């Protein structure tokens, strides 16, 4: 490269820099200033509601497995041969109360009843004989006692005559022997009467034993017949006709279909709120240990739903709270009862509530007083946004007692009549001016949610 070429390039750099500076100056001078919008200065419009105390329905729910309220495990109390079996005694069969399901051979127990009755008849005859003997002995004792008195008086006269030598000593000795003999006879009769009470006690004992044997024989005879004590469904049968069964052998298994139970596992937080709503105040003097006397279970509305099928439900009632917590979930155990689970069946819309069905149990109870209820979304990490009298935003800390169905029940921090911002502003700056729009529809919706009217439940 020549010296001329290098010098020519240096001469081009200076005009280029000058041209760039001129262009930048022109762009800055003719730049457009951002347009100012009057709407940007307006206060943001936000939805607000008036905080109100309203009636509230506390709800709880838990899952559980259905089971019959009663299960009859038929066990043979006596041995014998099966002589009769109901033709429908099979697994799954429904049978009404009073149906004879099974009968064992009763012949040996009829014989035992006859033997006991014969023993009682024999003992009754002995008691009658003893009564007659007692009467006869008393009459004989009375006669012999009179004879003894006569003999003693005669002995006295002879003794006086002996003193006057009017009677010989041999006559005195003879009378003494006669008197002693009569006294011995009277003593013998008195001894017989003294033994009669012990004989009567013995007969009473024998009679009681025979009566017990007769009663036992009747009970054994009754145990040969198995009659359904209630409407039931056969679950399992383990015996056939003509089969000999021994004492203690299981014959069949049947479930009561008049009542069904569900032990629902309810979270403790829900259960505590529910029980507090139906608690009955008692004084220390009237304190009772029975939980059912301290809680009004009738104030709790319950419903059983088939898990996965919300339209399939049965009315229920709370019968008790089971002792202890579930060992796995550490939740409370509330037992509900469904009356006539088979009578309510309307197949295929509503099947019978059978055992081992997985169900959801819903509970509802009115709170003991009105509560402050706001949308749960209006609580921002322990704070709410309020409007003061000048329509300016305030941030206030609140304490949430509990949340239920997207509702927050406020314990402290709010009062009825406060205006609550339910929108979530982009920048919630304390003191900023706000244009409020009262949402009456949301207020009505909140009152309906608080009463449980929007949850799709029949409780």
Q: What are the residue boundaries of the structural domains of the chain, listed by start?
A: 45-55+369-450, 73-105+231-255, 108-222, 259-366
pLDDT higher than threshold 50 for residue 16: yes
Instruction: Express each pLDDT in 154-165 by its tens digit.
Output: 878 877 777 777
pLDDT of residue 3: 43
Lowest mean per-residue pLDDT among 13-22, 187-196, 413-422: 13-22
CA distance 176 to 197: 33
pLDDT of residue 164: 78
CA distance 39 to 41: 5
Strand partners, 76: none
Section 74-97 average pLDDT:
93
Instruction: Express each pLDDT in 440-457 by its tens digit.
Output: 999 999 999 998 865 545
Section 263-270 average pLDDT:
91
Instruction: Express each pLDDT in 279-328 by its tens digit.
Output: 887 655 555 555 667 788 889 999 999 998 888 889 999 998 888 887 78
pLDDT of residue 386: 92
pLDDT of residue 39: 46
Give percent of the chain with pLDDT exceeding 90: 48
pLDDT of residue 109: 92
pLDDT of residue 162: 75
pLDDT of residue 302: 94
Instruction: Express each pLDDT in 197-236 by its tens digit.
Output: 888 888 889 999 999 999 999 999 999 999 999 999 999 9
For residues 50 and 438, the answer to whether their CB atoms sit within 8 Å is yes
pLDDT of residue 291: 63
For residues 121 and 211, the answer to whether their CB atoms sit within 8 Å is no
3-state secondary structure 218-250: HHHHHCCEEECCCCEEEEEECCCCCCEECCCCE
Closest CA to 141 of 196, 183, 194, 190: 190
CA distance 169 to 17: 190
Structure tokens that stand for 147 in this block: 């004879």
Phi, psi of 165 (to 5 degrees): 60, 25
Instruction: Express each pLDDT in 61-77 by its tens digit.
Output: 999 999 999 999 999 99
CA distance 207 to 201: 10
pLDDT of residue 311: 86
CATH architecture of 45-55+369-450: Beta Barrel (2.40)
For residues 59 and 269, the answer to whether their CB atoms sit within 8 Å is no
pLDDT higher than threshold 50 for residue 4: no
Closest CA to 74 of 323, 245, 213: 245
Beta-carbon contacts of 232 under 8 Å, excluding residues fewer than 6 positions away, are 72, 94, 95, 97, 254, 255, 256, 257
Beta-carbon contacts of 317 under 8 Å, excluding residues fewer than 6 positions away, are 297, 298, 302, 336, 337, 339
CATH architecture of 259-366: Beta Barrel (2.40)
pLDDT higher than threshold 80 for residue 26: no
pLDDT of residue 365: 92
DSSP 32: P
pLDDT higher than threshold 80 for residue 52: yes
pLDDT of residue 323: 82
pLDDT higher than threshold 90 for residue 106: yes
pLDDT higher than threshold 80 for residue 29: no
pLDDT of residue 294: 79
Fold classification of 73-105+231-255 is OB fold (Dihydrolipoamide Acetyltransferase, E2P) (2.40.50)
């Amino acid at each position: 490269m020549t010296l001329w070429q290098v010098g020519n390039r240096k001469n081009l750099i200076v005009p280029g820099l000058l041209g760039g500076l001129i262009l930048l100056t022109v762009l800055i001078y003719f730049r457009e200033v951002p347009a100012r919008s009057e709407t940007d200065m307006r206060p943001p419009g936000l939805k607000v509601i008036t905080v109100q105390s309203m009636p509230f329905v506390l709800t709880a729910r838990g899952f559980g497995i259905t089971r019959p309220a009663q299960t009859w495990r038929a066990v043979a109390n006596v041995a014998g041969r099966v002589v009769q079996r109901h033709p429908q005694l099979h697994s799954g069969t429904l049978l009404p109360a009073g149906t004879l399901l099974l009968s064992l051979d009763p012949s040996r127990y009829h014989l035992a009843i006859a033997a006991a009755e014969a023993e009682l008849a024999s003992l009754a005859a002995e008691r009658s004989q003893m009564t007659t003997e007692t009467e006869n002995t008393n009459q004989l004792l009375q006669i012999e006692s009179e004879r003894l008195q006569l003999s003693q008086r005669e002995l006295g006269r002879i003794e006086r005559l002996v003193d006057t030598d009017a009677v010989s000593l041999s006559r005195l000795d003879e009378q003494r022997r006669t008197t002693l003999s009569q006294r011995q006879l009277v003593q013998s009769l008195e001894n017989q009467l003294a033994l009669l009470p012990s004989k009567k006690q013995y007969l009473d004992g024998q009679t009681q034993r025979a009566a017990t044997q007769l009663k036992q024989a009747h009970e054994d005879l009754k145990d040969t017949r198995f009659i359904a004590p209630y409407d039931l469904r056969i679950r399992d049968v383990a015996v056939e006709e003509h089969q000999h069964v021994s004492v203690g052998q299981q014959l069949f298994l049947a479930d009561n279909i008049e009542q069904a139970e569900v032990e629902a596992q309810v979270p403790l937080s829900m259960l505590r709120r529910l029980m507090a709503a139906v608690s009955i105040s008692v004084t220390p003097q009237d304190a009772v240990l029975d939980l059912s006397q301290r809680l009004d279970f009738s104030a709790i509305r319950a419903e059983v739903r088939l898990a996965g099928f919300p339209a399939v439900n049965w009315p229920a009632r709370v019968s008790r709270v089971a002792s202890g917590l579930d060992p796995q979930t550490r939740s409370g155990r509330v037992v509900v009862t469904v009356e006539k689970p088979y009578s309510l069946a309307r197949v295929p819309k509503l099947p019978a509530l059978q055992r081992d069905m997985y169900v959801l149990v819903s509970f509802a109870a009115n709170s003991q007083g009105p509560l402050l209820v706001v949308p749960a979304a209006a609580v921002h990490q322990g704070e709410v946004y309020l409007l003061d009298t000048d329509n300016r935003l305030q941030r206030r800390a609140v304490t949430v007692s509990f949340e239920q169905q997207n509702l927050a029940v406020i314990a402290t921090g709010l009062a009825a009549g406060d205006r609550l911002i339910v929108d979530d502003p982009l920048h919630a700056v304390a003191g900023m001016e706000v244009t409020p729009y009262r949402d009456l529809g949301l207020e009505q919706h909140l009152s309906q949610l608080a009463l449980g009217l929007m949850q799709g439940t029949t409780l």
